[in-house]
Chain A
Amino acid sequence: MISLYRRASADLARLRTAEASRDAIDELNRIVLLAHALIYHAAPPTRQSGIVQFLARDYPRTVRESWPFHLASFLIATLFAVLAFAQVQQDPFLIAAVMGGAEHEFVGQRTGADIRDRFLEADQPTLFSYVTTNNIRVALVAFALGITFGIGTVFILAVNGTMLGGFAGAYAQSGVGAEFWITVMPHGALELSAVVFAGGAGLMIGYSLWCPGRHTRLESLKRGGKKALIIICGLIPAFILAGLIEGFITPSAHLSDPIKLAIGGLAALVFWTHLLLGGRDQTDRTDPATDEDATNASAV
């Protein structure tokens, strides 16, 4: 195969110099191109441990390395949540603006039972499916819009922060704020964390465009995008877990509130522990940059 490829590419070069028939050159070009892809870019053998190692090591490491972005993401979302909370306290009709005209549902007296009913009415597997797909979509969009120099990501974070703060404000105004948080927190602890990290990944892409450093903007985008993508891929299992809790635990009529909160808290604890500690115990791979520098130094 390889010797055939060598001969074919040598022939191609010769045909070019000889200005042979254009069709022949094009055809040989096509063939050599295919062979080139096969020889130089053969797919690396897929490791069985690839995904496990990715989730266990690469993903938490990348998240830790990029903590300032996640902090920024958290602050942006929180800022808008607090603003919305305060505004809705003053003017309950504002929630209608957030929800697009569904004020009859959200304005006026509410009881704790109302909140629960909204969840209880729903068909559980459907709720799980809907919530999970929707959350993953929001995360993917927040990430993708990072390429608008981060502006789109900030917008998504602001919208989601405003929604949460607005609802919390509206329910608090009706005097059932505690009920609201008890209902939301079992799945929310995990779900909101994951959304914040997805926003952080989007901000990372935006930052790589604003401040490319020593690289060209394009090169910087590629690097930032790759790192941010690792975070997004790692978050997908977390969204599915959050969806499971929101679909089956939160609306469950059989479980008491403390048990629901305990399950949600446990899930969030696992998520955070993994992020903070995952991949630390193994011997750290040598940083490629320093490694390269060392080689250069020894060569000099």
Chain B
Amino acid sequence: MDTDKPIIEVKDIWKTFQSGGTTFSALRGIDLSIKANEMLAIMGASGSGKSTFMNMLGCLDRPTKGQYIFNGVDTTPKSNTDLALIRRDFFGFVFQSYNLLPRTTAFENVELPLLYFGFKYGRSQRQDMVMAALKQVGLEDKVHNLTNELSGGQQQRVAIARAIINNPKIIFADEPTGNLDTRTSFDIMAIIQGLNEKGTTVVLVTHENDIADFAKRKVVFRDGQILSDNINEHPKSAAEERKKLPELIEPTAAT
């Protein structure tokens, strides 16, 4: 892939909400381009429009005005079904609250995206892919555990495995460590950094500076506009930071 060519190009994006006669613009003319293999942290206070922007990038939402070009294709005129197929083929999502299916095993959760590929993946092929993904996040021994039997960090790792099962071009992570303690947060960030090192573009939304420090580029939002856009020359390594933390005798799981 030509790394100089932007994988994401956003031109003058506006998002306006109407409520009770008043209009409110969550995004006010954003221009941004993201190159392949970037690891981008979108920061900002709550209400700054960072989540709205990420949803837009993830094709979960449509801009009121402006153009969003993904991988050289203008997504703005696409149908809902086409957007769903873009999400299926190119994106992986990691949410703050994991969004795993309740009363379902880790295996079934990770397998889920593959089921939406029609006849592309057979039963044994799906099995192999799920096992590989769970191994990548270090959960090969929890394959058949129900998700409510897992700790918060383990659940988020299942969510990451689910996000990477389709070998996505971009991973969108919306406050992936928001519900986790520091240790687990760093574990999760180490996995995400690892994915980025293997070539996946990562867009990370966070309001925590020490999480954003792991990214290669920081974009700060305020009131629906970009306040600053800086390259992080020396991104920290989450794995290294994790080692610096004093080990607990008995690690407690955050939920």
Q: Do A and B assemble together?
A: no
B residues with CB within 8 A of A: none
A residues with CB within 8 A of B: none
